[in-house]
Structure 1
Amino acid sequence: MLHPRRSAQTVLLCDLCETVDLQSHCELCNVHLCKACVGEHLSDLSKKHNVVSFLHRKSTPNYPKCPTHADKHSELYCEECDVPVCSTCVSKKHRGHNLCDVLEKFSSKTESLQKDLEELESRICPRYEEMASGVQTEKSELETNYGKLTTAADQQGEALHREVTAIVNQRKSDIQEMKNKHMAALDKNTDEITQRITELRKIIEDLKKILNTKDVSLTSTYKSRNGEFRQLPPKVRVTLPSLSPQKINTEKLREMFGSLSPLSINTEQGDTMKSAEAVSSPPVKPLLDEPRVTATIDTGYDTNELFSVSCLSEDQVWTCGDNETMKLLNLQSKLLTSIQTKSGNKPTDIAVTRDGDLVYTDEYKHTINLIKNKKIQTVITLQGWRSRNVCCTAANDLLVTMDSDDGEPSKVVRYSGSTEKQSIQFDDQGRPLYSSGGFYKYLSENKNLDICVADRGASAVVVVNQSGKLRFRYTGHPSNTKQSFNPFGITTDSQSHILTADCWNHRIHILDQDGQFLRYIQCDLCTPWGLCVDIRDNLFVAERFTAKVKKIQYL
């Protein structure tokens, strides 16, 4: 812009008032300021501003154009609104929001894309190609295997001469039909795998384009599909038929010719590949001597009404309490989303899936429900059982505690989608693993795939292995004989620690994976109820009587 009194000289104006020559520069917000506007800018105490002389400012990186103001660059990224912003955006629409450098955000997102690309190229796609190669090998051997059957039939036919010609032809026809079915099954399997490989290669190509173009917009809108492709396609298992020749007896010609075993084509559930993060061993993180509260979230529920918390990310959690509304909140207690249950009943428990969707149980409707894109779908309706608490496993299965309508037996059931895969109810001696009655039984899957249940009715943490065999029961610290153990919420972390909320004693017990007590977390907790940990092992504690969620660093 040319100053009206100095037309031969280019003059830079203040970004806030846009009328006075600039003198200073805020390196945090990347805003140019005049002398009068410096005070107003520093009045925003939510950030640690760094105002320096304009001549001593740092060089400006190559920032992208602002999508809202074409003449500005997006130097910052608004974490709350999830958009890149320029200095004009900051001073107007995004004042007071949590901001970071847009290039740092781009670098973080690029790193995530790079990890997806590496996993697709080095692990997932090769497994698909390996499967396709295996099916192709089986198809190439198919002619030889079925040829042997045909030869056996011919040899038997020659021995029986003309009397068995009709039978030989019939058997050959049966073999051909089986062969056709076998080939059709393998062709179908090949088509499915090839289609997935095509999709994988397209995703890989798109990811490479995004990474090469360094387009912030494309990078920000990218949604990973790696979780979808970790579930490998079904694998066809076929049992080859066999021919059982008999000694020739003209009177029992058909019987002596021998029977042809039926063709058996079974489709097995495809294996689920572990993510690259799951394959690598987690770094050792020692326990802190003094755990500390790093954030407190006011959920807005009435006191005595907060029950469960489940992490969506490091700074966003889902909560539910004694009404029909489930809330997504950030660390500043800002309500991001609220969803009401389908039935209008209060949710019994909530869990976040590996895909970031929300699952909730409704004990009154005997249902387990999935919320995807704010739409509620009932995925499981129980008969004779009431759904209680729920957690999501590393394989993206659901584990659900439930008790019968008459309140007697209780059990843990594993679901893949809406299909029941496992039921855990009794020990090796046929005795119930869990207490009877309508008690809360929060649960969590540990890193070693143990299933950990906080059984309030039994005043114990009950841990079984992946196959449902009892490993141990924890009934509180052995030295504590005066106060009863009251386990409610339970969760596990990257170190295979088991953390359980001892509600009425206002503390958290930390155990190792074998049930050995390690220490307590106190942190002035008041009736800790629901628990969860995020990907960085920060603990979130839902306090029932205060209706607050506390974020605690303990590692």
Structure 2
Amino acid sequence: MIRHIVRLRRYEHRYVQPAFTFSALQFLSFTKTALPQIHLTLHTSQLSMTESLNKEDVMESLSAIQITERGNRRVGNQCLLKLTSGAELHQSLTLTRVDCCYHISCVTSDRVWVSDNKNNLMLTDTTGVPLHRVEDSLSGVGPHTVNSESELIYIDRNYNINKLSKDMKTTTTFIETTDSTWEPGGVYWSPSTGDLLVGMYNDDTKTGKVTRYNQSGQLTQTIQNHNTGRGLYSGPCFITENNNGDVVVSDFMSGAVVVTERGGRHRFSYTGHPSGSGLAPCGICTDALSHILVCDVITDTVQMINKDGQFLSHLLTEPQEMRVPWGLSYDVNTHRLWVGSYNKVRVYRYITRQDALTDEHRPSPYEEAMSSSTPAV
């Protein structure tokens, strides 16, 4: 029985997804009613009993199985994802009254906020028709993000950081800018911590920094200098965060993607393809497989590098109708990539999800359990 439980634990850890509700506990409960009463003696470091199998005992025995708050297992999902042979265009939309799509923030699989360099910030669906507009947004390249409550967080023209409610009826000031020497240029809400990362620029010194604010709007961290003491950034606008906690910044002015660990220590700077073509980085995001994706307006490509800064591929190139890509946003629910270029937004698929539970080469949990040796009684 111990071997049996261990095998089920292993199966759950590797394969069970939120949509698959057949758990080890349900299976053992089934065996209690479907099979004759089992009397056993268990001796472990945590349990010693001689009695009939019951649900409380099973729950205690399976207490080592850990389930996240939302029922998602990130590592398990990653094991089921893989890259396709190339990016496939899923759909394309033309935006009205948008000059150049500089920045994209996904709300749902069919709704996104997009902005250009002329103070246009609008919510649109897959038709490209504006559903809502924000009139006081900052003209820039990374001035908005969306939190877990589907609220828009954006920088206004006075360099304050505002929050627009989900129903788009209430706007509140989340962070008020009081130091005029540092101007916010880009924001990113962290799904893992709930923090807000803000890219700041000092026009006098031509330097930048990344600041972190908690959910109450309090400053908790400043990332500004290399381990050696010199400045990390020139103009951090596009910001994202990788699955390992790395803070990933697209710094157009320095021509590099600058990556620091969660605590602020510099890990690496990516300056372009190994051929030496250089890099003019714009939109940036990370995906479920911890790849870093960045737009390069020198080569008109979207480049993919791994979490340690090694170039992997040109995910998108100009022949794929991507002239001068600027904005990027990765949809964690559909694993699709939104790419902005001029007044066009295109959605691509380059990751597929393999359903291990339907793999004909793998047995079902019931078959795997029943194929094991008969429990000792």
Query: TM-score by structure 2 length?
Result: 0.68
C-alpha displacement at 1:366, in angstroms?
A: 2.3
Counterpart residue type for residue 210 of structure 2 = V
Q: 1:278 to 1:443 in 2, by over 3 A?
A: farther
**1:365 and 2:158 matched:** yes
Question: 1:554: which partner in 2?
Answer: 350
Separation in structure 1 between the aligned mates of residue 311 and residue 75 of structure 2, nearest angstrom: 27
Question: 1:525: which partner in 2?
Answer: 322
Matches within 5 A, 1:386-535: 386-393=183-190, 394-416=192-214, 417-435=216-234, 439=235, 441-478=237-274, 480-481=275-276, 483-521=277-315, 522=317, 523-535=320-332
Secondary structure of the 2:298 match is: helix
Secondary structure of the 2:253 match is: helix
Higher mean Cα deviation, 276-285 or 416-425?
A: 276-285
Contact 2:295/2:325, CA 8 A, preserved across alignment: yes
Contact 1:347/1:360, CA 8 A, preserved across alignment: no
Separation in structure 2 between the aligned mates of residue 463 and residue 346 of structure 1, nearest angstrom: 25
Greater per-residue strand proportion? 2
**1:287 and 2:83 matched:** yes
Counterpart residue type for residue 369 of structure 1 = N
| Identity %, equivalent residues | 29
Which of 95, 118, 124 pairs up with 1:299? Answer: 95
Question: Could you list the per-position Cα deviations for residues 26-45 of structure 1 after superposition, in whole angstroms to 9, with x for gaps in the alignment?
Answer: xxxxxxxxxxxxxxxxxxxx
Question: Could you list the per-position Cα deviations for residues 101-133 of structure 1 after superposition, in whole angstroms to 9, with x for gaps in the alignment?
Answer: xxxxxxxxxx99x9xxxxxxxxxxxxxxxxxxx
Separation in structure 2 between the aligned mates of residue 370 and residue 278 of structure 1, nearest angstrom: 30
C-alpha displacement at 1:458, in angstroms?
A: 1.4
C-alpha displacement at 1:310, in angstroms?
A: 0.7
Counterpart residue type for residue 443 of structure 1 = I
C-alpha displacement at 1:421, in angstroms?
A: 0.8
Question: 1:246: which partner in 2?
Answer: none
Contact 1:317/1:328, CA 8 A, preserved across alignment: yes
Contact 1:403/1:410, CA 8 A, preserved across alignment: yes
Counterpart residue type for residue 237 of structure 2 = K
Greater per-residue helix proportion? 1
Contact 2:280/2:298, CA 8 A, preserved across alignment: yes
Higher RCO, Cα 8 Å, sep 6+: 2
Secondary structure of the 2:85 match is: coil
Question: 2:173: which partner in 1?
Answer: 378
Q: 1:278 to 1:350 in 2, by over 3 A?
A: farther
**1:327 and 2:122 matched:** yes
C-alpha displacement at 1:441, in angstroms?
A: 2.5
Question: Could you list the per-position Cα deviations for residues 201-257 of structure 1 after superposition, in whole angstroms to 9, with x for gaps in the alignment?
Answer: xxxxxxxxxxxxxxxxxxxxxxxxxxxxxxxxxxxxxxxxxxxxxxxxxxxxxxxxx
Separation in structure 2 between the aligned mates of residue 298 and residue 400 of structure 1, nearest angstrom: 29
C-alpha displacement at 1:477, in angstroms?
A: 1.4
C-alpha displacement at 1:440, in angstroms?
A: 5.4
Contact 1:453/1:461, CA 8 A, preserved across alignment: yes
Q: 1:428 to 1:351 in 2, by over 3 A?
A: same
Question: Could you list the per-position Cα deviations for residues 511-543 of structure 1 after superposition, in whole angstroms to 9, with x for gaps in the alignment?
Answer: 111111111122221111111100222110111
Contact 1:488/1:530, CA 8 A, preserved across alignment: yes
Contact 2:283/2:327, CA 8 A, preserved across alignment: yes
C-alpha displacement at 1:457, in angstroms?
A: 1.4
Unaligned runs of 5+ in 2: 1-17, 22-67, 352-377
Separation in structure 1 between the aligned mates of residue 324 and residue 186 of structure 2, nearest angstrom: 19
Question: 2:49: which partner in 1?
Answer: none
**Higher gyration radius (CA):** 1
Secondary structure of the 1:283 match is: helix
Separation in structure 2 between the aligned mates of residue 387 and residue 434 of structure 1, nearest angstrom: 13
Counterpart residue type for residue 92 of structure 2 = T
Query: TM-score by structure 1 length?
Result: 0.47
C-alpha displacement at 1:418, in angstroms?
A: 1.2
Between the two proteins, the alignment pairs up a number of residues equal to 275
Separation in structure 1 between the aligned mates of residue 161 and residue 155 of structure 2, nearest angstrom: 5
Separation in structure 1 between the aligned mates of residue 71 and residue 147 of structure 2, nearest angstrom: 18
